[in-house]
A = this chain, B = another copy of it.
Amino acid sequence: MKAHVYVTLKSTVLDPQGQTIGNALRKNQYHGVTDVRQGKYFVLTLQDSLDAADAAAEVERIARDILTNPVIEEFTYRLED
């Protein structure tokens, strides 16, 4: 089973890296984009012995305790068989 974890800055936190990418896009004639936010993306491969509930609990603990800085970031995740 795989878990896809998406970590993003909270919407109230400035994202200068995303702004820089957005400015670069506009300078390169990509005018369809009004805003860019950058985040992190993790693909965790889980042991086959875990059932869906255990996997969700383990992924949530990992995302909350290790992959995310709770002061400025938040996460979502998705499990995939």
Q: Which residues of A contact B (CB under 8 A)?
A: 6-8, 18, 21, 24-25, 28, 30-47, 50, 54-55, 58, 61-62, 66-67
How far apart sit A75 and B14, CA to CA, in the bound complex (Å)? 25
Q: How many copies does the complex hold?
A: 2
New contact pairs (11) apart from A32-B47, A33-B62, CB-CB < 8 Å: A7-B41, A8-B43, A24-B66, A30-B61, A32-B46, A34-B46, A36-B43, A36-B44, A38-B41, A39-B41, A39-B42
Contacts of A21 in B (CB 8 A): 42, 66-67
How far apart sit A45 and B45, CA to CA, in the bound complex (Å)? 30
How far apart sit A42 and B19, CA to CA, in the bound complex (Å)? 11
